[in-house]
């Protein structure tokens, strides 16, 4: 396994490197709770320099991307942000891509582990179209923030937002509202994504050492660094799915409410569209995303992959009762309870964090049929943690098409 490239921002006081898929940048800088508050207030930057950056150039770039992706991209204006998904032929989610066009190139921001596979797939799909795909990860680094004016903040810190073709490469997350052509399954009157004012800027990778120096010199009331632990807590609270955490090899976008911003339901054909339309109009996704409020009394925070369980009443068993016989003299069965309940696995933890206000929370993907009122339990480190559901994708998600009922056909009595 290749060792991660360490970010210059790891030289800041208190920096603790993240592990796994986020290795190379900081998990936190000493106090994730304060970092959450600073991030929400627009006074913090998150180092995302481990993420991948691809650029697609050429006159056919937007029509070509539009033909293979879930979002409508043909009319993407310079400086406009969106996101899209690449699905397999069965409609299962393969790649989640943050997209920004500057009028000359379409910029694709992705998780680090997505980039090699995505680039190989795109290269195979070019055919004779006038497009060129280039990896710019070694040239540009992503910095995330909730600042009102990220370009001004980064410019003042010596890491200006890059603009190779005249338009600043600043991606604004569309999760704040339902995108044009999208659909929201969440039934809450006020979606927590409305306060998710997240943006990612591309800066020259060569400017990261200067950015580290500037952040170290900032007074307590100025811009500060925040780690991924703080970002994850706010993301979970906003119900915002992340491909590296919420997605497995069976994921349909409906299960994560990702039709909200990453799927245009009225665009032309693309790979997996038939499944997207069929599940949305006629069926139900087999699983659904929930946010869990966890009991923190045990001091254990679940991790990605921990099983989510629920109590199920055992079915009654048929037992022989000698005193009751049938005509042939064989003891007749009688129904007796086989027990009260049994605990069964109904889902999986995808992300977890300790929120500065909500306490321990998690996102989990569970079976659609699990009742909304059910108390769930998370098994982690040999501890069973009780959890209350906050519904994101309801059991009723899907089947939005109003199919008229046909009259029943039966035997007709002939008229006299």
CATH number, domain containing residue 264 = 3.30.1360.120
- The pLDDT of residue 401: 80
Kindly state whether residues 206 and 349 are assigned to the same domain. no
Q: What mean pLDDT do residues 266-281 have?
A: 95
Kindly state whether residues 257 and 295 are assigned to the same domain. no
- The pLDDT of residue 220: 66
Domain span holding position 343: 287-391
- The pLDDT of residue 206: 98
**Number of neighbouring beta carbons within 10 Å of residue 137:** 18
Q: Is the dihedral of CA 213, 216, 220, 223 positive or negative?
A: positive
Kindly state whether residues 198 and 322 are assigned to the same domain. no
| Res 326 pLDDT > 50 | no
Report the SS3 class of residue 109.
Answer: strand
Q: Which residues of 162-179 are buried (b: 16+ CB within 10 A; e: fewer)?
A: bebeebbbbbbbbbbebb
Entry field: residues in the chain: 416
Q: Looking at the 3D structure of the chain, how many domains does it have?
A: 2
Whole-number mean pLDDT of the chain? 91
Kindly state whether residues 274 and 293 are assigned to the same domain. no
> What CA–CA distance (Å, rounded) separates 176 from 194?
4
- The pLDDT of residue 218: 79
Q: Is residue 164 part of a domain?
A: yes
Residue 324 phi, psi dihedral angles, 5° rounding: -120, 120
Contact 202, 169 (CB under 8 A): yes
- The pLDDT of residue 330: 40
| Res 322 pLDDT > 80 | no
Q: What mean pLDDT do residues 30-40 have?
A: 97
Contact 237, 358 (CB under 8 A): yes
Report the SS3 class of residue 95.
Answer: strand
Q: What separation in angstroms does the CA of 416 have from each of 101, 353, 410, 412, 413?
A: 73, 76, 18, 12, 9
- The pLDDT of residue 314: 76
Q: Which residues of 85-106 are buried (b: 16+ CB within 10 A; e: fewer)?
A: bbbeeebbbbbbbbbbbbeebb
Q: Is residue 47 part of a domain?
A: yes
Q: Is residue 416 part of a domain?
A: no
Of 350, 97, 141, 114, give the one whose Cα is nearest residue 232.
Answer: 350
Dump pLDDT digits (tens) for 335-382.
445 558 899 999 999 999 999 999 999 999 999 999 998 889 999 999
Q: Is residue 330 part of a domain?
A: yes
Which stretch of 19-28, 189-198, 215-224, 398-407 has the lowest confidence by average pLDDT?
Answer: 398-407
- The pLDDT of residue 99: 98
Residue 323 maps to which CATH number?
A: 2.40.30.110
Q: Is residue 49 part of a domain?
A: yes
Contact 15, 25 (CB under 8 A): no
């Amino acid at each position: 396994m290749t060792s991660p490239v360490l970010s210059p921002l790891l030289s800041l006081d208190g920096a603790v490197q993240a592990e796994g898929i986020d290795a190379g940048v900081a998990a936190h800088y000493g106090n994730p709770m304060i970092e959450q508050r600073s991030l929400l207030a627009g006074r913090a930057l998150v180092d995302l320099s481990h993420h991948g950056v691809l650029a697609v150039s050429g006159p056919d770039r937007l029509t070509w991307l539009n033909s293979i992706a879930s979002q409508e991209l043909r009319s993407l204006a310079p400086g406009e942000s969106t996101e899209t998904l690449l699905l397999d032929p069965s409609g299962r989610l393969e790649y989640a891509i943050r997209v920004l066009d500057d009028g000359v190139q379409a910029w694709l921001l992705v998780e680090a582990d997505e980039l090699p596979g995505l680039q190989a797939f795109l290269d195979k799909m070019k055919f004779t179209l006038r497009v060129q795909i280039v990896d710019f990860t070694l040239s540009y680094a992503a910095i995330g923030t909730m600042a009102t004016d990220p370009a001004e903040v980064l410019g003042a810190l010596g890491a200006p937002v890059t603009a190779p073709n005249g338009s600043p490469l600043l991606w604004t997350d569309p999760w704040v509202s339902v995108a044009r052509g999208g659909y929201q399954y969440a039934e809450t009157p006020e979606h927590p994504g409305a306060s998710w004012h997240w943006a990612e800027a591309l800066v020259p990778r060569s400017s990261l050492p200067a950015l580290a120096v500037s952040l170290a010199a900032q007074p307590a009331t100025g811009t500060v660094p925040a780690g991924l632990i703080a970002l994850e807590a706010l993301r979970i609270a906003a119900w915002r799915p992340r491909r590296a955490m919420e997605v497995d090899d069976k994921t349909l976008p409906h299960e994560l409410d990702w039709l909200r911003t990453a799927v245009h339901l009225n665009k032309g054909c693309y790979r997996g569209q038939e499944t997207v339309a069929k599940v949305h109009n006629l069926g139900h996704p087999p699983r659904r995303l929930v946010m869990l409020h966890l009991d923190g009394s045990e001091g254990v925070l679940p991790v990605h992959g921990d099983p989510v369980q629920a109590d199920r009443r055992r079915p009654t068993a048929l037992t022989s009762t000698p005193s009751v016989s049938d005509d042939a003299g064989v003891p007749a069965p009688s129904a007796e309870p086989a027990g009260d309940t049994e605990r069964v696995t109904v889902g999986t933890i995808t992300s977890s964090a300790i929120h500065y206000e909500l306490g321990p929370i998690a996102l989990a993907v569970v079976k659609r049929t699990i009742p909304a009122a059910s108390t769930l339990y998370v098994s982690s480190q040999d501890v069973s943690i009780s959890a209350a559901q906050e519904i994101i994708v309801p059991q009723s998600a899907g089947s939005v098409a109003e199919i008229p009922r046909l009259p029943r056909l039966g035997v007709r009595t002939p008229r006299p």
